[in-house]
């Protein structure tokens, strides 16, 4: 089994000129945790995720602050100017680190190894320099793990 057999070929992407509001709406509507970001030529230039949107909405110092001592109901978030972040372009806060790339003929076992080695949730399937598909951890589980779970309860 190879990448072409398990990839999602109709990849949902978002343009780098899209806004944070559009990115949040897309991710929430589709229930995806991230989507590739493409430039005007359709080239993948990064990825935008829930994590990126959370970081956009919260002050940077929260990365370094331990708030576990607060009760769950404690108001600790500073007032955020929603209007200021809604129209921020995806290009300004997306992650530019690229997803690992594989060919359509890459064996699924190798894709699983790459995901584990690089601690990534998805890989891009590239064909002739273009994004041909995407493979998530769920795709790998369905392809490799699910068939192994056919044992009868004992």
Give the Cα separation of 104 and 84 in Å (integer).
41
Under the banding of pLDDT at 50, 70 and 90, the label for residue 114 is very high
The SS3 of residue 46 is strand
Bridge partners, residue 34, by sequence: 49
- Residues 90-112 have a mean pLDDT of 92
For residue 105, which phi and psi values (nearest 5 degrees)? Answer: -95, 10
Name residues whose C-beta falls within 8 Å of residue 38's C-beta, 6 or more positions apart in sequence: 13, 14, 15, 16, 44, 45, 131
Class of domain 3-148: alpha beta
Counting residues of the chain whose pLDDT is more than 90, the rounded percentage is 58
Which ranges in 9-96 belong to alpha helices (H)?
Answer: 20-30, 50-57, 82-86
Q: Where along the chain do its domains lie? A: 3-148
Give the Cα separation of 53 and 6 in Å (integer).
29
- Residues 103-132 have a mean pLDDT of 94
Q: Does residue 134 register a pLDDT over 90?
A: yes
């Amino acid at each position: 089994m190879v990448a072409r057999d398990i990839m999602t070929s109709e990849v949902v992407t978002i343009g780098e000129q899209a806004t944070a509001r559009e990115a949040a709406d897309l991710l929430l509507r589709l229930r995806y945790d991230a989507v590739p970001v493409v430039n005007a030529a359709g080239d993948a230039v990064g990825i935008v995720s829930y994590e990126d949107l959370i970081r956009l909405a919260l002050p940077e110092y929260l990365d370094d602050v331990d708030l576990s001592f607060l009760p769950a109901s404690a108001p600790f978030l500073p007032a955020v100017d929603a209007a200021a972040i809604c129209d921020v372009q995806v290009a300004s806060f997306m992650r530019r680190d690229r997803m690992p790339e594989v060919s359509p003929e890459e064996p699924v076992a190798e894709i699983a190894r790459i995901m584990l080695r690089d601690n990534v949730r998805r890989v891009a399937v590239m064909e002739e320099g273009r994004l041909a598909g995407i493979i998530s951890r769920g795709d790998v589980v369905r392809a490799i793990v699910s068939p192994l779970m056919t044992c009868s309860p004992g």
